[in-house]
Amino acid sequence: NAGVTQTPKFQVLKTGQSMTLQCAQDMNHNSMYWYRQDPGMGLRLIYYSASEGTTDKGEVPNGYNVSRLNKREFSLRLESAAPSQTSVYFCASSEARVAGNEQYFGPGTRLTVT
Amino acid sequence: AQSVTQLDSQVPVFEEAPVELRCNYSSSVSVYLFWYVQYPNQGLQLLLKYLSGSTLVKGINGFEAEFNKSQTSFHLRKPSVHISDTAEYFCAVTQIQGAQKLVFGQGTRLTINP
């Protein structure tokens, strides 16, 4: 099992450009999440999908959109990138129908917006 | 809403010394508590979690944590650290009912000196 995979690993964008971060999991989990990690701020939830066909905003959703393409895949889109979106982005998944289950994290995407 | 405060942003210790990483949380509802570890340039992985029962929980790599409801704390400890424990450690909470969204602390960078 690969677990949670993310592409790309690194990306540099210019202000105003768009891009989609891809995430896939092979653990048959129902729930998937997108976080951003910034120095001194821990991880903050951008969007999550409790189950296939549903998505909800997290703590910092502005400037992002998501798509739960199927049970395996959950993508994060930046329509018009801004320097404030320079961050490391992590995707995670969990079997959240069992309360307290751990979330499994991907390796991250390091995004720089110039 | 929940919030998590990790009281130390950096903790330097010598190899084989004991260490305690402090975590306090705030919540108006019952929560589950987690500690995750992030090794350099990797995603997060679960160290341990508290769901219910004994307030002392043991995790991987010799770590343990104690849940103290009256002090709303969940401090992480290890009696003797190793160079390989150098990493960033995150305390997190999620509400017991509803969507399993993690709220993270700011992180504590543990540096082990030989």
Tokens 């942003």: give the residue: B9
CB atoms within 10 A of CB B1: 9
CA atoms in the 13 A half-sphere facing the CB of B6? 28
Give pLDDT, residue B97: 80
Amino acid at A102: E
Bridge partners, residue A14, by sequence = none
Shortest alpha-carbon distance between residue A33 and chain B (Å): 8
Contact criterion met (CB below 8 Å) for A70 and A58: no
Verify whether the Cβ–Cβ distance B102 to A45 is below 8 Å: yes
Q: Where do the DSSP E strands lie in A16-103?
A: 19-25, 31-37, 43-49, 56-57, 64-68, 74-78, 87-94
Q: Which residue of B has its CA nearest to A109?
A: B43
Give pLDDT, residue A2: 79
Contact criterion met (CB below 8 Å) for A107 and A6: yes
Verify whether the Cβ–Cβ distance A99 to B32 is below 8 Å: yes
Burial class (CB in 10 A: 0-12, 13-18, 19+), B28: exposed
In the predicted model, is pLDDT for residue A99 greater than 80? no
Mean pLDDT of chain B: 94
Q: How far apart are CA B82 and CA B35, in angstroms?
A: 18
In the predicted model, is pLDDT for residue A96 greater than 80? no
Shortest alpha-carbon distance between residue B79 and chain A (Å): 25
Count A/B contacts: CB-CB distance under 8 Å: 64
pLDDT digits (tens, 9 = 90+) for B25-70: 999 888 999 999 999 888 999 999 999 899 999 999 999 999 999 9
Give pLDDT, residue A101: 85
Verify whether the Cβ–Cβ distance A58 to B101 is below 8 Å: yes
Beta strands A109-113 and A10-13, pairing class: parallel
